[in-house]
Amino acid sequence: MSLEEANIIRKRAETFLRNAERLISVGEWDLATFNLEQYCQLMLKYRLLVTRGSCSRSHSLRTIIRILSQDAPELISLIEDTDKLHNVARLEEAYIVARYLPYMFEEREVKDLHRFVLEVFKHPVERL
């Protein structure tokens, strides 16, 4: 895949993050959480495309982080640190829950995940 095509993935990820923020502002917690997960997943896949030229077909953030950390060891803390792992796992759950299960995310859950994405996840992934 070309760098131009990879950049489409990055731009789509950024759109998911903006959409999550808009959904948070109107109290659409379930879809906001799904959009946060999509941002994370696509940013990780974008980084794999840039560093390796291909990306995983997995939807698991943990799996993609493990693969990417082979080239960027600093990312492994996202799944080795228990607090960070908890948030990554919650985002993974959002992928399935928001699509298939009758579970409702609460405001504080979503705002906490949003904070995690902005303050913990985003910067190390974007710096690669």
Question: Rounded distance, CA 12 to CA 87, Å?
Answer: 22
CATH of the domain at 122: 1.20.120.330
Say what the pLDDT of residue 58 is. Answer: 82
Residue 27 zone, left/alpha/beta (φ > 0; ψ -120 to 50; rest): left
Look at the chain and report how many structural domains it folds into.
Answer: 1
Which residue range(s) make up the domain with 96? 3-127
Flag whether the pTM goes above 0.85. Answer: yes
- How many CB atoms are closer than 10 A to CB 1? 12
End-to-end distance of the chain based on CA atoms, in angstroms?
A: 18
- How many CB atoms are closer than 10 A to CB 25? 9
AA letter at 8? I
- How many CB atoms are closer than 10 A to CB 107? 11
SS (H, E, C) 78-100: HHHCHHHHHHHHHHHHHHHHHHH
Instruction: Give the pLDDT means over successive 10-residue stretches in the chain (128 positions).
Output: 86 98 97 97 94 83 96 94 96 90 93 98 90
